[in-house]
């Protein structure tokens, strides 16, 4: 047996809830409700893997397993990811000879484990050998598969319509059912200070192809950019973006205003991705996305002759120890404050 180091990526799960107490409406954007996540993954775990797979470019992801782990404070699961799109020879590393060929539709099997802290939504995911997994792929997987909990969401909203007369209710929306955000390694906004100038940035929102989806998405974009003059027309698109580009003189955008604007967008959690392009302090081309500042963790585990952890249970426990260590120092206390909710929540069976 030998010891190898494994890299983990850190994320935060958010479950926005809209609510009203005696007609006074509000929204909880920073809270986490594990009932929602458990329902989603439990449902997906009962569906054939091929039916819930999501392909993004040449990368594919599907849920491999999920276990609520009722007695523990973390739920556990695994994703299967692979990269396809090109026919390649398979080489024996010892002889440097081709021993087979991978077809264009095939990829290498990567099963990666994840844990979710049930109280706060802290998510750690093992990084695969090919470095396929990232926040964009995870969000796309969640986004494309939220349809499977549509009925549960409808029942949830019905159960939590406490009083029509007093206008007291709790509502969750399918579009914002779950947001996956990176745990910042370097705070996204702080990293903006390393830009000498910002040439352009783009705000992206993904939307389903269904009636009124484009209108609703553009309303969200309008709120983000303070522009109410959009006239939506559905042309079958599934992604919407607002892009800000420097003027023709090439001086770049107003750095202070751009950073202030991006900070507000980043804090809203209403986007699917942000892309910033510009020039670094040493005058080199610089790109920034939330994924590029994701927090990384490292653990060491015994591996077998194939390089896989000897014991999955021990591997999960090592991940949980790392998550607990980080959470106690940086995350749990503030997050638990955000999770306090002013109305009792009723949950449907499912």
CA atoms within 13 A on the CB side of 281: 4
pLDDT by residue for the chain (350 residues), tens only, comes to 699 999 999 999 999 999 888 888 888 888 899 999 999 999 999 999 999 999 998 999 999 999 998 889 999 999 999 999 888 888 888 888 888 888 888 888 899 999 999 999 999 999 998 999 988 899 999 999 999 999 999 999 999 987 666 678 899 999 889 989 888 655 666 777 777 777 777 777 665 545 455 556 556 666 655 544 444 444 444 555 667 665 545 556 666 777 777 777 766 656 667 778 877 777 778 777 766 767 889 999 999 988 889 999 999 999 999 999 999 887 888 887 778 888 889 999 87
Q: 290 is written with which tokens?
A: 């939330």
SS in 3 state form for the chain? CEEEEEEEEEEEEECCEEEEECCEEEEECCCCCHHHHHHHHHHHHCCCHHHHCEEECCEEEEEEEEECCCCCCEEEEEEEEEECCCCEEEEECCCCEEEEEECCCCCCCEEEEEEEECCCCEEEEECCCCCCCCHHHHHHHHHHHHHHHHHHHHHHHHHCCCECCCCEEEECCCCCCCEEEECECCCHHHHHCCEEEEEEEEEEEECCCCCCHHHHHHHHHHHHHCCCCCCCCCCCCCEEEEEEECCCCCCCCCHHHHHHHHHHHHHHCCCCEEEEEEEECCCCEEEECHHHHECEEEEEEEECCCCCECCHHHHHHHHHHHHHHHHHHHCHHHHHHHCCCCCCCCCCCC
Can you give the pTM of this predicted structure? 0.74
Alpha-carbon span 229 to 244, nearest angstrom:
17
pLDDT of residue 202: 75
Instruction: Select from 101, 107, 105 the least CA-distant residue to 82.
Output: 107
Alpha-carbon span 273 to 180, nearest angstrom:
11
pLDDT of residue 71: 87
pLDDT of residue 187: 63
Alpha-carbon span 315 to 70, nearest angstrom:
18
- Residue pair 325/114 in contact (Cβ under 8 Å)? The answer is no
- Residue pair 9/133 in contact (Cβ under 8 Å)? The answer is yes
pLDDT of residue 231: 46
Alpha-carbon span 58 to 63, nearest angstrom:
17
The number of beta carbons lying within 10 Å of the beta carbon of residue 314 is 12
Q: 221 is written with which tokens?
A: 């974009």
**Residue carrying the six token digits 């009925």:** 151
CA atoms within 13 A on the CB side of 83: 9
List, in sequence order, every residue forming a beta bridge with 294; answer none if it has no partner.
Answer: 184
pLDDT of residue 230: 41
b/e per residue, 86-123, with b = 16+ CB within 10 A?
Answer: eeeeeeeeeeeeeeeeeeeeebeebebbbbbbbebbbb
């Amino acid at each position: 047996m030998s010891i190898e180091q494994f890299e983990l990526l850190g994320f935060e799960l958010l479950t926005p809830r809209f609510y009203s107490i005696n007609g006074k409406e509000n929204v909880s954007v920073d809270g986490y409700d594990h009932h929602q996540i458990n329902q989603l993954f439990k449902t997906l775990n009962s569906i054939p893997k091929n039916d819930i797979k999501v392909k993004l470019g040449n990368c594919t992801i599907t849920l491999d397993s999920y276990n609520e782990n009722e007695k523990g404070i973390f739920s556990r699961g695994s994703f299967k990811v692979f990269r396809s799109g090109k026919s390649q020879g398979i080489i024996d590393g010892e002889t440097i000879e081709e021993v087979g060929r991978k077809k264009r539709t095939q990829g290498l099997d990567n099963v990666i484990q994840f844990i979710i802290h049930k109280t706060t939504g802290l998510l750690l995911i093992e990084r695969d050998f090919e470095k396929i997994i990232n926040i964009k792929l995870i969000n796309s997987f969640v986004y494309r598969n939220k349809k499977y909990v549509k009925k549960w969401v409808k029942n949830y909203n019905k159960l939590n319509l406490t009083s029509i007369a007093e206008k007291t209710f709790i509502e969750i929306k399918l579009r914002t059912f779950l947001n996956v955000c990176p745990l910042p390694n370097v705070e996204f906004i702080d990293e903006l200070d390393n830009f000498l100038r910002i040439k352009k940035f783009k705000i992206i929102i993904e939307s389903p192809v269904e009636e009124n989806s484009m209108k609703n998405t553009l309303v969200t974009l309008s709120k983000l950019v303070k522009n109410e003059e959009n006239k939506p027309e559905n042309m079958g698109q599934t992604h919407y973006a607002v892009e800000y580009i420097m003027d023709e003189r090439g001086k770049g955008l107003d750095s202070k205003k751009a950073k202030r604007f991006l900070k507000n967008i980043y804090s809203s959690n209403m986007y699917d991705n942000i892309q910033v392009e510009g020039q670094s302090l040493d005058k080199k081309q610089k790109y920034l996305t939330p994924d590029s500042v994701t927090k990384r963790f490292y653990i060491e585990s015994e591996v077998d002759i194939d390089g896989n952890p000897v014991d999955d249970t021990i591997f999960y426990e090592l991940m949980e120890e790392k998550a607990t260590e980080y959470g106690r120092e940086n995350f749990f206390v503030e997050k638990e404050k955000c999770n306090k909710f002013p109305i009792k929540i009723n949950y449907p069976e499912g």
